Amino acid sequence: MRPRPSWGWQDAAACRGEDLVLFFGPDGERQPEREIRERKAKEICAQCPVRTECLDYAISRPEKYGTWGGLNEDERASERRRRMRRANAA
């Protein structure tokens, strides 16, 4: 059983109050629009004081959709594999 998440970090998130579609995208979104939307979301994440906490949360769940901690789904999957390799090597 996973520990209950701590949500306190969200209070300081740079994305707080932003439109969720910016971070999760609409159904049927085409690739060019997705790239533009993700770039905008990542710009907000880049300025975020709790980016690390957000990314750690998304990787530990694991969140399957959206931009979390400045990474999209594919980038988080790569980061998750990297962390697992590092943990196994330790």
Which residues fall in the annotated binding site for [4Fe-4S] cluster? 15, 45, 48, 54
Closest to 65 (Cα-Cα) out of 32, 27, 33, 36: 27
Which residue ranges are tagged as binding site?
15, 45, 48, 54
- Judge contact between 56 and 43, C-beta under 8 A: no
- Judge contact between 79 and 71, C-beta under 8 A: yes
Closest to 9 (Cα-Cα) out of 40, 41, 52: 52
